[in-house]
Structure formats: structure tokens, C-alpha cells
Amino acid sequence: MRLKRYIVPFMLSVFLLSFHTQVAPEVKEDVIRDVPLSPQTQTCLACHTTYTPGIVKDWQSSRHAGMIPSEALKKSLLEKRISAESLPDELGKYAVGCYECHSLNPERHKDSFSHMGFTINVVVTPDDCKTCHPTEAKQFYGSKKSHAVKNLLGNPVYNTLVSTITGVKKVENGKILSDKPSESTLHETCLGCHGTHIESKGLKIVTTGMGEISIPDLTNWPNQGVGRENPDGSLGACSACHARHSFSIEVARKPYTCSQCHLEPDVPAWNVYHESKHGGIFFSKYQEWSLNSVPWIVGKDFKTPSCATCHNSLLVSPTGDVIVERTHDFGSRLWVRIFGLIYSHPQPKSGNTTIIKNMDGLSLPTSFTGNLASEYLIDKTDQEERLNSMKKVCNTCHSTAWINGHFSKFERTIRETDEMTLAATKLMISAWEKEIEDKSNPFDEPIEQMWARQWLFYSNSIRYASAMTGAPDYTAFKNGWWYFNENLQHMKDWIEFKKRDQEVTTK
């Protein structure tokens, strides 16, 4: 390691002269507060202020930089942003700086390495964050999000879908052949959201502004996918939503964050929200609201919900009553899964969905013709309870009749979209029976792909729009009923064309 060895002590002395306690609370970055930094973090900052100033400035704008955890512990229950009851001594008295997070649990971190005299982990994981935020970590570990890699690639059906789409195609003698997808392409398509598997392959040398340094050689890195498999064996990435070094609750509450993954054509939550009444008011007025506050007071801090309002946040009434508790188990206020696989269904009991077996013997929550794998799905009582928690949120701004009207409409839409999916399934079965396409891979031929669009794109879009009472134009034309219907007609004609081809060829 040909590191310029003089650099660390030099940077540190420059730093200590110029950079004392310049940490500040979220948003008002320029306010200087007297929050002590640990000696280790001071050493980190000494160099990184020069070498990665953006990271340092980002952290300086964070709440982590602006308070001491032991003070945070003293806040009232509703105001608390940490859930630990007590903290390790060494974490109690300094701001939460570089070293406080990047040095935790080194014995479990295969990405741990010796860096400028310190033992540092490259990747900070939910297991590290849970030192101060154990409740959030526990909830998250129970959710589908934390199992997002395995739920996708460990399921033979989804794995086939993924491979069929993302494998490079070659044309040889008029035939289309498919390679296996590369890790690289998986990384920036499906696993961009779901998360990659990060492993340490030892050390490697990189050339930096400080000379050559030795760092862990990690596979599939960088990645902040929500279900990332970490080198300490834990699952998930808090930074998927609490982006980068400001760890902002405000950013996580804004719909821009969720929009990075929940998008048309398959999961158009963002698109539907943007066109909904809720979204329209949000984008018109949110600059005047307080998206940072804990507790988050309905009507006072915001006047229309963002994604987090309905799905995650602790909500409190203007008179201080808790409406719903905070949750990082993202399905816990959801009774039905409108992301059809291939039909809508009650939410699965476990965040690990690879354990499901339907009547066709596949790890899918519904069978090919729509029968539920009920054993693995929550029952009516649980559904009722979760629906009621959601209704409490609605009820802060809407009357009971309004809410009931909304949800009975939604229920009907779920049924109709499932029927439309079934119609497409029947057409595809007939194409398979006539050997027009080959059922061994249900995603690799045109009629099959039209079938997949029907449930993956159009049914889902209509259900998301119905759920948010938003985007009627989206539901009517853009990715909704227009295509639902047109695509079905195309399936029918395409089957005819291929059947005729078959007949002419065999004549």
C-alpha cells in the first residue's frame, strides 16, 4: 500500500484548527451548535472534508450530526426518533458521526478493513442501525421488502420472468437465442430496486486522491436496493429510503423517494398518486408544510397525505391523540395485495414469500386460474383489522360514508380486474392447447407476453388507481382499460395469425 502516509496527521491538524463543532440540525445547516464529535469521527472528517466534501456536507445537514443520542433518549414518547431504551456508553456522548456507524459490529462484517488505523465497515446495514433503532429494524425484517432479493430470484416463476426479459438475445439462423442475464444487467434492472447480494472477495488496491489504498473487493457494489443482502449477513438497506448521509425523515416522507421503484408500468403508485387529488394538492402546497416533524400532526403539519402518511408514519391528531403507530413493516396496514401474482390476493403471512405453495405446486399466492393459496395468506379477521387501521387514516379528513363508498368501489375493481386477467389466461391456454406457443416458458413468446401485460401492467395499474381514487384518465386510457381491452383483442387476432401460419406451413 503506497499510501501517502503523511496525509492523515497533516489533514487532522489542519482540520482541528479550522473545523470545531460545525455540526447543525437538519435543514438549517448554517446554525452552529455545540455538539461534540468523537475523536475518531474528527479524524475521518479531517481527510474526507477534502476528499469527499459532498458526503461531509450532507452529513452535517443531518439530525445525526446535530444531536447527542443520550439527549434524544430523553424526549417524550411521541417525539422520539430512536427506539432503543438505552445505548452503549461510547455512543451516548457524541454526535452520530462517520465512525459511530461505520465501526459497528466489525466481527460480523466481511467488508471490514483496516483504514488509516481504524477498523471500518464499508456497508452500514440494518443490523448496525438497530443499535439505536431496534423497533424499526425488527418491523423491517418482518416485511416483504427485507426479503426482496430472495423473493424474486428464489422463486422459479419470477426467476424465469427475470431471465427471459434481461438476458441478451442473439439471432442465429433466423432464431432468437437468449443468454443468461449478466449480474451487471440484473443489478441495474430488477435488482436495482430489490437489492443485490454483496460479498467480499478479499482486498483490492485502488488509486485515490490520497494515493493507493487497500479496500474490500465487494461484488455488486454500489447498491441501495431495499432488500440488499449485506456482507454482515443482514438483509436490507435503510438508505434505500433514508437516502445517503442526511438520513432525512423528510426525504423519506416525500413521494419522490418511493417513486424510484413504485412506477409504471408494473407498480404505478407514483404515477397514479401524481395524477390524484391527493397528489395534486401535495405538489401544489407541500412547500408550506412540515415534513420533518415528529410527531406528525394531521392538518397542522400537512393537509394531504404522501405515501408515508398512509403506509408508515406515526400520525397524531391536533389534540395529541395517536391515530396510527409508526411502522417499518410496509404491508402492515394493507389487507389485500393488489400487485397480482397473477391475481390479487390477501397479503401473505410471512415477508418471505418463497415458502408459499399454491395448488399448482408453485410458489405463487394464486393458482393459474385464480385459486388462493389461503394457508399462506392472512385471513378475513386480519384483513379486517388492517383495513380498519387504514380507515383511521382516511377518517382524519373524510367522513365514514365517503370512506365506505371508496372502499366498496375498490373491492369491485379488484374483482373485475381479476376477471379480465382470467379472460387473458383462457386465451393463452387455448393457444398452448393448439400448440401455437409453447408453455414450457410462459414469458418468451408474443402471445404469452401479451398475457403477462394483462396482469402485470394493466390489472395492476387499474387497481393502484382505484386504491388511491386517483388518475381516472390513467385508468381509462393510459395503461388502463383501453389497453386492457385492446391487448385482449390483439391476443385473439395474433392467435389467429399464428394458427393460420401453422396451417399453411403444415399443408
Sole residue written with cell 392447447: 433
- Three cell numbers at 456? 402485470
Question: Would you count residue 284 as binding its own copies (CB under 8 A)?
Answer: yes
Question: Would you count residue 265 as binding its own copies (CB under 8 A)?
Answer: yes
Question: Would you count residue 115 as binding its own copies (CB under 8 A)?
Answer: no
Minimum CB distance to its own copies smaller for 265 or for 370: 265
Q: Report in angstroms the alpha-carbon separations of 371 from 171, 360, 368, 377.
A: 39, 10, 8, 12
Q: Do the beta carbons of residue 336 and residue 383 sit within 8 Å?
A: yes
Q: Which stretch binds its own copies (CB under 8 A): 74-82, 325-333, 367-375, 404-412?
A: 404-412
Question: Would you count residue 347 as binding its own copies (CB under 8 A)?
Answer: no
Residue 308 C-alpha from the chain's centroid: 12
Minimum CB distance to its own copies smaller for 142 or for 470: 470
Among 110, 144, 145, 187, binds its own copies (CB under 8 A): 187
HEC string of 244-307 equals CCCCCHHHHHCHHHHCCCCCCCCCCHHHHHHHCHHHHHHHHHHHHCCCCCCCEEECCCECCCCH
* Window 130-169: residues binding its own copies (CB under 8 A): 164-166, 168-169
Minimum CB distance to its own copies smaller for 48 or for 130: 48
* Window 357-376: residues binding its own copies (CB under 8 A): none
# binding residues, its own copies (CB under 8 A)? 140
Question: Would you count residue 322 as binding its own copies (CB under 8 A)?
Answer: no
* Window 40-99: residues binding its own copies (CB under 8 A): 49-58, 61
Query: Residue 502 Cβ, how far from its own copies at the closest point, in Å?
Result: 10
Question: Would you count residue 435 as binding its own copies (CB under 8 A)?
Answer: no
Question: Would you count residue 430 as binding its own copies (CB under 8 A)?
Answer: yes
Strand-strand pairing, 322-324 and 336-337: unpaired
Minimum CB distance to its own copies smaller for 92 or for 370: 370
Q: What are phi and psi of 337, to 5 degrees?
A: -100, 110
Question: Would you count residue 416 as binding its own copies (CB under 8 A)?
Answer: yes
Q: Report in angstroms the alpha-carbon separations of 178 from 317, 442, 450.
A: 56, 15, 19
* Window 290-309: residues binding its own copies (CB under 8 A): 298-300, 303
Query: Residue 148 Cβ, how far from its own copies at the closest point, in Å?
Result: 12
For helices 400-433 and 460-467, angle between their N-to-C axes, nearest 10 degrees: 180
Q: Which stretch binds its own copies (CB under 8 A): 124-132, 227-235, 379-387, 467-475?
A: 467-475
| Long-range residue pairs from 53-60, CB within 8 A, at least 24 positions apart, any chain | 55/244, 55/245, 57/29, 58/244, 58/245, 58/246, 59/97, 59/98, 59/245, 59/246, 60/22, 60/23, 60/24, 60/29
Minimum CB distance to its own copies smaller for 371 or for 374: 371
Among 160, 259, 292, 354, binds its own copies (CB under 8 A): 259
